[in-house]
Chain A
């Protein structure tokens, strides 16, 4: 299957700083990318959907000014957690879909564990 690479896999940052997480589709063009947040022992919560070249669509309750998403190319989307606080500590996972066909498989990155101290 296609490969989605997420970087970094782990990051520790100080409270008040910003952290950028990258999500790259390595061997296909991702027209749509998704960002999820996963709390310990819980399911994935969709944060936002991003389409290349347009603004991301955020799910209800997700602060768009805090979680900045950029999808500047067909192979790269970034999530920036701005002014991070300890409650932002979580496992963040991206996924990418190759085209607009409904049943096209979504490929997931390895995830990024963010710890804010």
Chain B
């Protein structure tokens, strides 16, 4: 079946450090890929997305590239801020379904 695997957290970084959160997927077709962010006590917000292989999604300094050959969609940011502390979810959406399939989420904690 279709699934998303994320690195386990929490990830703790100092401000201005480089961030990578790994995400790999298993899918029978060609999904669209998403990163969502959830701040404490809130719902999810779309951070970025990519709809086909080699697409790069970017927003607020975050980037992720859709790598079909490695079935990955790793999230990166060059310099994290304290305000980036949140839980990040990788997700996929198959053409045959309206349902988003989420990874388990990775908690990021950025210390001043």
Chain A interface secondary structure, helix, strand, loop or mixed?
Answer: strand
- How distant is B36 from chain A, measured CB to nearest CB, in Å? 8
Within 8 A of B (CB), among A7-51: 32, 34, 41-44, 46, 49
Instruction: Check: B89 CB closer than 8 A to any chain A CB.
Output: yes
- Interchain Cβ contacts within 8 Å, total number: 53
Which positions 11-44 of chain B face chain A at CB distance < 8 Å?
Answer: 32, 36, 41-44
In Å, the complex CA distance between A43 and B32 comes to 19
Minimum distance in angstroms from A48 CB to a CB of chain B: 10
Instruction: Say if the beta carbon of A6 comes within 8 Å of chain B.
Output: yes
Query: Interface code A58-78, partner B: CB below 8 Å = 1, 0 otherwise?
Result: 000000000000000000000
In the docked arrangement, what's the CA distance between A95 and B99, Å? Answer: 11
| Contact, CB under 8 Å: A6 / B32 | no
With A102-B32, A108-B44, A110-B42 known as contacts, the answer to whether A32 contacts B98 (CB < 8 A) is yes
Q: Which of B43, B95, B107 contacts A110 (CB 8 A)?
A: B43
A34–B43 CB distance below 8 A: no
CA distance A97 to B89 in the complex (A): 18
| A interface, CB within 8 angstroms of B | 1, 4, 6, 32, 34, 41-44, 46, 49, 93, 95, 97, 100, 102-103, 105-111, 113
Q: Which 8 A-B pairs have the closest CB atoms?
A: A108-B43, A108-B44, A111-B43, A110-B43, A43-B104, A43-B102, A44-B102, A109-B43
